[in-house]
Amino acid sequence: MQRIFSGIQPSGIPTLGNYLGAIRNWVALQADHDCLWCIVDLHAITVWQEPAELTRATREMAATLLACGIDPARHVLFLQSSVPAHARLAWIFNCVARLGWLNRMTQFKDKAGRDREAASTGLYVYPNLMAADIHAYHATRVPVGDDQRQHLELANDIGEKFNHDYGTDFFPRIEPLILGPAARVMSLRDGTKKMSKSDPSDQSRINLNDDAEAIAQKIRRAKTDPEPLPSEPAGLEGRPEARNLVGILAALTGTDLAGVLRAHGGQGFGAFKGTLADALVATLGPIAAETRRLLGDPGALDAILRDGAARAAAVADPIVAEAERLVGFLRLR
Ligand code: TYM
């Protein structure tokens, strides 16, 4: 069975983008894979996080993932900072990756903004840690949203260069799994921008803990254009906001763009937005309620994460120890 690894940052409330682009696919993949799901708190601090808020958001992320259907009994749910193997391998990868490779990373450019000199060095080497997350488990399949594609290409470049430099085939190739009609959910205010936890406008996103009223209001106010919906996907060309809303409904109802347009083509956005809001409330309402219930017992959440860390370390420790041996670190007897 192929091993799957994926991660999510506890840097805010997860959004509909995280859910449709990643978490929902993770849940489905659990049926026939051996999976590791990691809350990447080391990645989160590459930009400033208020310490108490990071602690709170980390537990909330664990509760949300469980509420979405992550199964901690058959798979592994854990915190990145609980398994030191990630940081050990990341250091080796800092010495394998080239500056030129990191300079090409578009997410660094986006996140660092104009004042690049003021960005943390952690933000710069962020993709090296991400490569370490995956390679520390010899994971070969990584389900992510479309925005992580470039990072996964880099993870393969790093694995390949390590293998070449040390004359080995130790790190396998990684296959990105970028799945479904909502692999890139866009902002509700601007169809050319990704929906993001960190967008300053709360109106730009659906948070997984939004109540029915907030969801309906955000969808009602979502930017659209004046034309009715086309009857075929080709008609969405040049209409990013329409494409986004159709993609969201397709993902929620288990169909594709063509399927949604067969049912709703010709409709105006007033009616369509009502259908979309109802579908969102039907999916997200139970997740928010279950998240709240799980947060009522932080001890139980911590026990799941502690058990996950021990099981993750049991896989990663021998792999990273072997990488260290290949590098030539003296193993003391
Ligand atoms: P993060 O926390 O930004 O997002 C978690 C997952 O959600 C996906 N995603 C989206 N998908 C569709 N539309 C969107 N608007 C949207 N926003 C986010 C992301 O693609 C991601 O799959 N670097 C990663 C975390 C990470 C990781 C890893 C992932 C660290 N180590 C190893 C895979 C393997 C990140 O920042 O995710």
pLDDT in tens, 105-135: 999 999 998 899 999 999 999 999 999 999 9
Query: Does pLDDT of 1 surpass 80?
Result: no
Whose alpha carbon is nearest atom 9 of ligand 1?
Answer: 18
Q: Active site includes 197? A: yes
- Bridge-based pairing of strands 175-177 and 141-143 is parallel
Task: Go through the domains of the chain in sequence order and give each one's CATH number.
Answer: 3-177+297-327 (3.40.50.620), 202-293 (1.10.240.10)
pLDDT digits (tens, 9 = 90+) for 224-258: 999 999 999 999 999 999 999 999 999 999 999 99
Q: Is 133 helix (H, G, I), strand (E, B) or coil?
A: helix
Whole-model pTM: value is 0.97
Q: Which of 109, 161, 193, 197 is catalytic?
A: 197
Instruction: Tell me the Ramachandran region of residue 9: left when phi exceeds 0, alpha when psi lies from -120 to 50, beta otherwise.
Output: beta
If you measure from the C-alpha of residue 207 to the centroid of ligand 1, how many angstroms do you get, rounded to a whole number?
Answer: 15
> Which of the four pLDDT bands, split at 50, 70 and 90, describes residue 198?
confident
pLDDT at position 333 is 85
- Decide if the complex's ipTM is over 0.90: yes
Cα of 267 from ligand 1 centre, angstroms: 33
- Whether residue 132 contacts residue 86, with contact meaning beta carbons closer than 8 Å, is answered with yes
Which atom of ligand 1 is nearest the CA belonging to 182?
Answer: 12
Could you say which of 194, 218, 223, 273 is catalytic? 194
11 is in an annotated binding site: yes
- The per-residue DSSP string of 172-230 comes to PP-EEE--STTSSPBPSS-TTSB--TT-S-GGG--BTT--HHHHHHHHHHS---SSPPP
| Residue the block writes with tokens 């290949």 | 326
Characterise 37 by phi-psi region: left (phi > 0), alpha (psi -120 to 50), beta (else): beta
CA of 21 to the centre of ligand 1 (A): 8
- DSSP summary character for residue 78: E
Q: How confident is the prediction for the chain on average, in pLDDT? A: 97
- C-alpha distances in angstroms, 304 versus 61, 62, 77, 139, 140? 13, 9, 7, 22, 25
